[in-house]
Structure 1
Amino acid sequence: MTRATTIPDTVMVHVPFRVKKRGGRKEIRLPEGAPSRPELDNALVKALARAFRWERMMRAGEVATIAELAEREKIAPSYMTRVLRLTLLSPDIVEAIMDGRQGPDVTLARVLEPLPFAWAEHAARFD
C-alpha cells in the first residue's frame, strides 16, 4: 500500500496575535472575535484568597489585631491592610476575577488602591 501524496517535512502555521504589557508582564492578545479561554490572574486570585482567609482568622478570634496577624504571617501591616480591603470589593468583581472575566484594567495594583464606599462605584471604576 502506497500513499498518493507525500507528507511535507515542514508545516507552516500562521497565528495572528499581539503582545501587550499588563501589570509589568507581557500577555499574548488574540485578535478581536477569536475564541479564547478566560485566563486567571494568579496574583489577583492569590490576593483575594489571602484577604478572605485573613478576615476569617480575625472573625474567628485566632488573632486580635491586624498587627498580630501581620507578625504571624511575616507581612508588613500596611500591605496586609491594603489586601484586607479586597474583602470589601463588590461580589460581582470578585466573581469576575475568580472566573477570569475581569477587564484589563483590573490589576492587583489597581484593586489595592483605596476603594469607593458603594459597590456600584466599584464597577464604574474598573470598567
Structure 2
Amino acid sequence: MKFTRHFGRVVRLVHRDGRAAALSSGSDHSALKLLVTARRWWTILREGEIRINELAAQEGVSASWMTRVVRLAFLSPEIVDAILADNLRSDVDGLVPTGADGVPAYWKDQRLRYLTAGAG
C-alpha cells in the first residue's frame, strides 16, 4: 500500500516501509549523480597530482563542497546498490548524505540512515 508524504513543495508516493514508489516518469537521480561525481573526483585526487583546492577551482565548486561529496565514494556496497536500484528511504535525496553531519563512517550507521526498515 502506498501513501503520500510531503517534502516541502514535492509530494512523493511512499510505501509503508518508507521506500519511495517508482514513478513511470522517472525518479530523482541526484544521489546517483553525486555518487558518480564523488568517484570521479576521488580517482583524480588519489593520483596525488592535484590538490583538492585546485580541483575544486577547476570544477567550479568550493573545496568544502568537494570534500563532502568525495565522502560518498566510501559508501558501503549495500548503499551503492540501493542508490543504483533507486531504493533509498523516501526522505533521502542526493544532498542529504553531504549535509552538515556528513556520511557516517560505519556501514551499519549508513544502513540505518539511508535504507528502509526492510532493507539489509
Query: Is this a same-fold pair by TM over 0.5?
Result: yes
Q: For the residues of structure 2 that align with 1:86 and 1:56, how far apart are their CA atoms?
A: 12
Superposition deviation, residue 84 in structure 1: 0.6
Segments ≥4 residues shifted beyond 4 Å: none
Tell me if 1:94 matches 2:80. yes
Calculate the aligned-residue CA RMSD, in Å: 2.6
Could you report, residue by residue, the CA deviation over 1:79-114 in whole angstroms, capped at 9, with x for unpaired residues? 111111111211111110111111113222321132
Gaps of at least 5 residues in structure 1 are 1-16
Superposition deviation, residue 58 in structure 1: 1.6
**Residues 124 and 100 (structure 1), Cα distance of their counterparts in 2 relative to 1, 3 Å cut:** same
Superposition deviation, residue 71 in structure 1: 0.8
**Residue 125 (structure 1) aligns with:** 113
2:6 to 16, 21, 37: 21
Q: Aligned runs of 1:32-43 on 2, under 5 Å?
A: 37=22, 40-43=27-30
2:56 to 70, 87, 102: 70
**Residues 50 and 87 (structure 1), Cα distance of their counterparts in 2 relative to 1, 3 Å cut:** same
Aligned residue pairs, count: 106
Preserved contact between residue 89 and residue 114 of structure 2 (Cα < 8 Å): yes
Q: Identity percentage over the alignment?
A: 32
For the pair shown, the structure with the greater C-alpha radius of gyration is: 1
Gaps of at least 5 residues in structure 2 are 116-120
TM-score, normalised via structure 2 length:
0.71
